[in-house]
Copies of this chain bind each other. A is one copy, B any other.
Amino acid sequence: MKNKIKILETFDNQYPHRDYTVTHYAREFTSVCPKTGQPDFAQIIIEYIPNKKCVELKSLKLYLNSFRNDGIFYESVVNFICEDLVKLMKPRYLKVTGEFNTRGGIESVVVAEHKTQKK
């Protein structure tokens, strides 16, 4: 799973002189439970303020699709995506939210945030 980041493509942010926000709502995320082998389903929400790069939408879709047959915990899904996107785009701000469908009567939400450290 280490090399998933290679699926992602970027394009140059043509408006780096301005802070603006981009939010992607991916409503069809699915992966596999690492304990039971059964499929999990989620909505992944990615919100960021670009720096020099934006993530290209079609590559983002393929990247999210690539988790389809991976066994991975909810908490790891959200943080893994967060870390890859930080490494890829070095955004000024990033928040990744995972809203996971009911399992055993329990619905789960995981949220991770990244802020550029001010020097």
Contact = CB atoms under 8 A, between A and B. Distances in A.
Interface in A5-30: 11, 13-15, 18-28, 30
Contacts of A4: none
Interface in A88-107: 101-107
Interface residues of A, number: 54
A108 B20 CA distance: 13
Contacts of A111: 20-21, 23
B39 A68 contact: yes
29 contacts: A14-B75, A15-B75, A15-B76, A15-B79, A15-B82, A15-B112, A18-B114, A20-B78, A23-B111, A24-B108, A25-B102, A25-B107, A25-B108, A28-B30, A28-B41, A28-B105, A30-B30, A35-B56, A38-B61, A38-B104, A50-B75, A57-B103, A57-B106, A57-B108, A61-B104, A64-B106, A68-B68, A68-B69, A69-B69
